[in-house]
Structure 1
């Protein structure tokens, strides 16, 4: 049964984004799907229309300056009022920091931090006024530790984690739920896009995008502050708080290279 409510999913053309969209469609939500590839978005939308809800596709490259604000304005002009925001779009860069281009780093930080923050601010403001809404921010297991060869990426996800957990407390009195999902490695093509071939040890710890997205959606509607997807990942996150930072950094570097 369609609820008549609307959800925005960023990074909806593949990986977890597709799963988020599917899970919300199953719950009866109308969807606004956004990503860089319009063709891939249209395929996702076509598959999800069988659930009976309305689906709008909005192509947007959120790594570009001003893209987040433009997306919000487009949605407003359509007369859509969002009840759910899934801030899923993100990008990684692998390799030594000084070997990466300043332009690539800037684009990644704009996507992972600036656009995420702008979307959250613009949409959360309306939710607070209406006193209803749900926001999911996708961080990463790397948010729990310094990660050599993923230095800027891991730092950006630490921002997302701390930002979202703080907003959970701020927005609770306004009846808006903010939840942070921290996935570990998944078979989504993220590593290939970041420029790293997954090792055998990495492959053994991977969780499925569907399982991870479901953990996030379930936590969001349960009103939880944060969730780490996968039992092994939850153990790593918990233990990381008790390991000296220098040792934790070395361990993270070794794990990402093995």
Structure 2
């Protein structure tokens, strides 16, 4: 594993962890639906945990698939136009900076990027609705596979990182790292979920998260500047 890939994996993992507040905003509704879809008599912690785990396996699987696709596209582009490697690296770095500004609430223009995926989502979202209410892990897995394509600026930022990774395998690996980073936020339920949501939406947490993301963006830019 190259140093650049290792840095990318760490960046993707941390971005997933720090973007927890954004993840709750994007996927909180479906997570709540999974938690309360079962009748009270069947709403046991183990059953709910199985639904949540299945949903997240499906969601992360979609991230990995997207990473494999864009990583392969990046590999193809690099093979045809060598200087594009640096360009893709800068694009990924810029997207990280924009995500930091978005999380810190310093600039919310990144939401316009999410509009790029709304055309596809218009066709996918009804498919997910048809699977509701969820009664078993298989349904939750399918919903996760669909919800993984929900338009999201944070996911798009990571896909640009995957695009610049140099190969399909590396792109999938980066999106796996990002997906694992989002897991702690989206696996919790009940009162713990409300407490975590409240914490992640605190201005202080937002500012610290944004500053850390900026730090990772600078770290990623160092090799592009020939300083590492």
TM-score by length of 2: 0.27
Q: Which has the higher strand share?
A: 1
